[in-house]
Amino acid sequence: MKKFSKQIVASSIFIIVFVSSLLAQPAQTLIDVNIAPEKSDWVYKPNEKAKFNLSVTKNNIPVQNVSVWYEVGPEMMPPLKKENIVLKNGTATIDGGTLKEAGFLRCRVVATYEGKEYAGLATAAFNAEGIRPTTDEPKDFIGFWDEAKAANAKIPMDAKVRLLPERCTEKINVYEVNIQNYKPGTRLFGVLCVPKAAGKYPAILRVPGAGVRPYNGDTGNAEKGVITFEIGIHGIPVTMDASVYDNIRTASLDGYQNYNLDDKDRYYYKRVYLGCVRAVDYIFSLPEFDGNNIVVLGGSQGGALSIVTAALDNRIKGLVAFYPALSDVTGYLHNRAGGWPHFFNAANLSFNNSPQKIETSKYYDVVNFARHLKVPGFYSWGYNDVTCPPTSMYAAYNVITAPKTLFLVEETGHWTYPEQWGMAYEFALNILGK
């Protein structure tokens, strides 16, 4: 296993700036609430006391006599300590206490300046490599997915391809593609980019983060001589006007991640996971594909789908997963953070706490796919993620026995720096021989 931290100089790496609502850096604010653990690597041993250095600044100058409140406790859990203080000189050191077991301790701070609130947080790691999953693998896990894949493979692909002339360039053709998946008559849509020059090319399958939105296709990598296929998961076209997706998001697909969670055979993500395999089928059907070299890449929900696809399909040669969702979702049932979509946290427990839903979750939990990975993977996240808590991600990462590289950027939340994407693309293209 290789591990990198944010201190690594990435100047030698070509950087592709990926613009996305999920992956963008947070907006700057007038007042900065800067907080970090005292230890430079943010790592503590169990029972070791953690302290957090706090400063509230404006124009990089400490704000005098600013009022703040803070809370400290295990990430995503009720705080163990709360306090209101006034920062006479704009700075303070907060005693965060400790954790006795492997996990993450989070300090959240809110400062009030001229009637407005500004927040910051920092998260200290306690033996993250020692975190183990709370979910377990059903005895028929492999059989369940083998049977599902076999049934899906019998459905004709029936590919329909439409050229998108406005998106084509001198080097590539861009198409909207839809293929049959899951049930006869249901479709999976995506944007395919293929180099124009004659030849055989490797491929990248891009799998999406959570939500309902249009897709543009990965034209940047296609122009470098790679077939790219960026898919949606909802069985609807991916090139419509953005307003259409706004309406769908708040109507028929509102809360789709919860649909049929009480039935492993009808749960929403069954068609999604199978759709990722079907997308691989389609790439292998392309005459321009080299027939061998393919990686899968995504973040958040897409990070989960990258791991799932690589575990379900032995044709995948490598994967990239940023802050993978759907990891160790039962963590909340064991008094610690669970992964998105937080089925069993305090807000959702009364609705989802049933034996059927807990059992179904095991067939879709990324942890149980991570156990079966056999190909190299590049992973990246930060400690401050409140969407996909690091406890849940480490629960999956720690069971991976395949070659793995972790690019850790401690201060990040559910967003990335360009350097993270630079290293991810370098990893992927190296596997593809580019």
How confident is the model at residue 24, as a pLDDT?
A: 57
- Beta partners for residue 320, in sequence order: 297, 378
Termini Cα distance of the chain: 23
Contact 309, 207 (CB under 8 A): yes
Q: Show pLDDT as tens, one digit a residue, over the chain (434 residues).
A: 444 444 333 333 333 333 343 445 677 899 999 999 999 999 999 999 999 999 999 999 999 999 999 999 999 999 999 999 999 999 999 999 999 999 999 999 999 999 999 999 999 999 999 999 999 999 999 999 999 999 999 999 999 999 999 999 999 999 999 999 999 999 999 999 999 999 999 999 999 999 999 999 999 999 999 999 999 999 999 999 999 999 999 988 999 999 999 999 999 999 999 999 999 999 999 999 999 999 999 999 999 999 999 999 999 999 999 999 999 999 999 999 999 999 999 999 999 999 999 999 999 999 999 999 999 999 999 999 999 999 999 999 999 999 999 999 999 999 999 999 999 999 999 999 98
Q: Is 234 a catalytic residue?
A: no
- Residue 201 CB: number of other CB atoms within 10 A? 20
How confident is the model at residue 25, as a pLDDT?
A: 67
Q: Is 372 a catalytic residue?
A: no
Kindly state the tokens that stand for 198.
Answer: 């004659």
Cβ contacts of 71 within 8 Å, gap of 6 or more: 79, 81, 82, 83, 107, 108
- Residue 263 CB: number of other CB atoms within 10 A? 13
Rounded to two decimals, what is the model's pTM?
0.94
Contact 243, 220 (CB under 8 A): no
Q: Is 300 a catalytic residue?
A: yes
Q: What is the pLDDT of residues 3-27, one digit of tens each?
A: 444 433 333 333 333 334 344 567 7
Q: What is the pLDDT of residues 134-178, one digit of tens each?
A: 999 999 999 999 999 999 999 999 999 999 999 999 999 999 999
Contact 421, 29 (CB under 8 A): no
Annotated catalytic residue, options 55, 300, 327, 392: 300
Domain residue spans in the chain? 26-130, 141-431
For the domain 141-431, what is the CATH code?
3.40.50.1820
Give a three-class secondary structure readout of the chain: CEEECCCCCCCCCCCCCCCCCCCCCCCCCCEEEEEEECCCCCEECCCCCEEEEEEEEECCEECCCEEEEEEEEECCCCCCEEEEEEECCCEEEEEEECCCCCEEEEEEEEEEECCEEEEEEEEEEECHHHCCCCCCCCCCHHHHHHHHHHHHHCCCCCCEEEECHHHCCCCEEEEEEEEECCCCCCEEEEEEEEECCCCCEEEEEECCCCCCCCCCCCHHHHCCCCEEEEECCCCCCCCCCHHHHHHHHCCCCCCHHHCCCCCCCCCHHHHHHHHHHHHHHHHHHCCCEEEEEEEEEEECHHHHHHHHHHHHCCCCCEEEEECCCCCCHHHHHHCCCCCCCCCCCCCCHHHHCCHHHHHHHHHHCHHHHHCCCCCCEEEEECCCCCCCCHHHHHHHHCCCCCCEEEEECCCCCCCCCHHHHHHHHHHHHHHCCC
How confident is the model at residue 313, as a pLDDT?
A: 98
Q: For 26-130, which CATH superfamily applies?
A: Macroglobulin (MG2) domain (2.60.40.1930)
